[in-house]
């Protein structure tokens, strides 16, 4: 069993966004594996960078879609993305300095944040997007 198992309960009923979320789940699962395998800071740096980069790409795409379809909760939603970005950029900074490695505590934060964000915040836009013909 993976650290985070994707299941239909996470679907926001927009194909492109579901694909992004699956990829983000994969990235966090990779981080978890690197922790379990005791991979050193060099390997972790690369995986963290990959996760940060992908999250950035995904948030930007989601925010563009919200703007394009005049999603009313855009500002609040964007602020939530911003908090995740702040935490992960800080994590990346620390990991790029020697000696710092991931912990289960950090991984749990990323996992909980993503699950909560998809299940609560992202799910709120499903109806809005679907009503605008976005699936
Ligand atoms: Fe989001």
The string of pLDDT tens digits covering residues 72-122 is: 999 999 999 999 999 999 999 999 887 788 899 999 999 999 999 999 999
Give the model's confidence band at 40: pLDDT under 50 very low, under 70 low, under 90 confident, else very high: confident
Q: Which domains does the chain have, with CATH numbers?
A: 15-128 (1.20.120.50)
Output Rg (C-alpha) for the chain, integer angstroms: 15
Predicted confidence at residue 85, as pLDDT, reads 97
Q: Which of 89, 53, 59, 87 is nearest to 74 (CA)?
A: 59
Supply the mean pLDDT for the chain. Answer: 95
Q: What is the DSSP secondary-structure string of 50-78? A: HHHHHHHHHHHHHHHHHHHTT-TTHHHHH
Predicted confidence at residue 41, as pLDDT, reads 85
Q: What are phi and psi of 15, to 5 degrees?
A: -55, -45
Give the model's confidence band at 42: pLDDT under 50 very low, under 70 low, under 90 confident, else very high: confident
User: Residues with Cβ within 5 Å of ion ligand 1?
Assistant: 62, 122
Q: Which of 102, 129, 111 is nearest to 21 (CA)?
A: 111
Q: Which of 58, 30, 26, 23 is nearest to 44 (CA)?
A: 30
Q: How far is the CA of 67 from the centre of ligand 1 (A)?
A: 13
Q: Answer with the residue of higher pLDDT: 42 or 29.
A: 29
Q: How far is the CA of 43 from the centre of ligand 1 (A)?
A: 28
Q: How far is the CA of 39 from the centre of ligand 1 (A)?
A: 30
């Amino acid at each position: 069993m993976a650290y985070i198992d994707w299941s239909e309960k996470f679907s926001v009923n927009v194909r492109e966004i579901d694909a992004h979320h699956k990829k983000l789940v994969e990235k966090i699962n990779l981080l978890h594996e690197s922790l379990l395998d005791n991979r050193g800071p060099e390997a972790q740096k690369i995986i963290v960078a990959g996760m940060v980069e992908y999250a950035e790409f995904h948030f930007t795409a989601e925010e563009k879609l919200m703007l394009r379809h005049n999603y009313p909760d855009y500002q609040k939603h964007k602020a939530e993305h911003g908090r995740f970005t702040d935490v992960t950029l800080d994590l990346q900074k620390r990991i790029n300095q020697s000696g710092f490695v991931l912990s289960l505590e950090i991984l749990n934060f990323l996992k909980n944040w993503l699950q909560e964000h998809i299940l609560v915040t992202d799910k709120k836009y499903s109806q809005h997007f679907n009503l605008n013909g976005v699936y």
